[in-house]
């Protein structure tokens, strides 16, 4: 009898300080897999609606309690679906206490500081769920592929990221990191769709083609970055993302599990309000 898939089957092994390389390969994850789907987009959407209702309750409790913080990190190659994930997973969630942070290329002012300077101020506050659309990992992946970071500098940044995320976790932040894993063929299809549809031209940038030419280098950089920064307090999950609807369900399931694990409750009722009648 075959083993049923579990969310943790897609978790990157935790970083081990005693080993130079964790046994991990992106090739072990099929971007086209749908391990938690019954096979149809409609069934995925039904399940997502069910999870969305539960996320809404959990998010309201998180915001009302104002004791814990949650950070969802979305990383992936161009067209992997970071924006689409946010639209689909959170469209029924009360925006109160929900904040989306898109990270672009650092500005001159940001470059004048350490690479985590611009990130720390965007970390979630108490009672808040923050979503990083791209993240501090851009400052690790991009300069590595461009040859601006050597192996030693790469390891130093990974160390700084682990320490930064550890500080967030020990300060009450639950961190869930998702790498949206698509195939090169699927990216070609999605990029071509943006080119062929004038209404989607705003989504396309010529630099996307430059990054595509460095596909293999980015896959290697992702592999090394995930292996060096997946920890017990800030785990990475590789999300098969060729299927948009399944991708959404899987990320929603992960986030719901994280929120339910916090055992959130509404604040105690106020005795001072007992018996009050509004005139």
pLDDT in tens, 92-113: 888 889 999 999 999 999 999 9
pLDDT 10s digits, 126-182:
999 999 999 999 999 999 999 999 999 999 999 999 999 999 999 999 999 999 999
Domain boundaries, the chain: 26-265
What pLDDT is recorded for position 20?
Answer: 55
**241 near 31, Cβ under 8 Å?**
yes
Of the two residues 56 and 208, the one the predictor is more confident about is 56
What are the tokens at 268?
């105690």
- Percent of the chain clearing pLDDT 70 (strictly above): 97
Mean pLDDT, all residues of the chain = 92
Compute the average pLDDT of residues 212-231: 95
pLDDT of residue 1 exceeding 60, the answer is no
pLDDT digits (tens, 9 = 90+) for 242-279: 999 999 999 999 999 999 999 999 999 888 888 899 98
pTM, entire model: 0.93
**Does the pLDDT at position 22 exceed 70?**
no
**Would you place residue 36 in the very low, low, confident or very high pLDDT band (cuts 50, 70, 90)?**
confident
pLDDT at 17 over 80: no
**89-103 as b/e: b if 16+ CB within 10 A:** bbeebeeebbeebeb
What local confidence, expressed as pLDDT, does residue 79 receive?
94
Query: What is the distance of C-alpha 258 from the center of its chain?
Result: 13
The position carrying tokens 């705003």 is 202
Q: How far apart are CA 43 and CA 35, in angstroms?
A: 13
Segment 218-237 shows an average pLDDT of: 96
Task: Give pLDDT, residue 224.
Answer: 94
Task: Lay out the sheet containing 129-133: strands in order across.
Answer: 98-102, 129-133, 69-76, 173-181, 236-240
Please tell me the predicted confidence (pLDDT) of residue 24: 83
Whether 126 contacts 67, CB under 8 Å? yes
Least confident of 138-152, 194-208, 211-225: 194-208
Query: Domain 26-265 in CATH: superfamily?
Result: P-loop containing nucleotide triphosphate hydrolases (3.40.50.300)
The answer to whether residue 4 scores a pLDDT higher than 80 is no
């Amino acid at each position: 009898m075959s083993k049923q898939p579990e969310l943790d089957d897609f978790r990157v092994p935790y970083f081990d300080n005693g080993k130079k390389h964790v046994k991990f390969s992106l090739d072990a994850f099929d971007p086209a897999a749908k391990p938690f789907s019954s096979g149809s987009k409609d069934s995925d959407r039904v399940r997502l609606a069910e999870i969305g209702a539960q996320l809404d309750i959990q998010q309201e409790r998180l915001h009302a309690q104002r004791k814990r913080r949650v950070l969802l990190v979305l990383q992936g190659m161009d067209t992997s679906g970071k924006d689409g994930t946010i639209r689909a997973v959170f469209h029924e969630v009360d925006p109160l206490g929900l904040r989306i942070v898109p990270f672009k290329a650092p500005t001159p002012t940001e470059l004048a500081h350490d690479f985590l300077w611009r990130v720390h101020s965007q970390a979630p506050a108490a009672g808040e769920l923050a979503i990083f659309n791209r993240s501090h990992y851009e400052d690790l992946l991009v300069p590595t592929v461009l040859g601006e970071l050597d192996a030693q500098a790469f390891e130093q940044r990974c160390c700084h990221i682990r320490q930064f995320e550890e500080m967030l976790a020990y300060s009450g932040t639950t961190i869930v990191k998702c790498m949206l894993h698509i195939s090169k063929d699927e990216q070609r299809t999605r990029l071509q769709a943006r080119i062929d549809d004038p209404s989607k031209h705003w989504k396309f940038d010529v630099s996307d083609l430059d990054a595509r030419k460095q596909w293999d280098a980015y896959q290697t950089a992702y592999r090394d970055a995930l292996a060096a920064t997946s920890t017990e307090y800030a785990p990475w999950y590789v999300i098969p993302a060729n299927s948009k609807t399944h991708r959404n369900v899987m990320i929603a399931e992960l986030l719901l599990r994280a929120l339910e694990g916090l055992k959130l409750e509404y604040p105690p009722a106020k005795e001072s309000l007992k018996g009050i009648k509004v005139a």
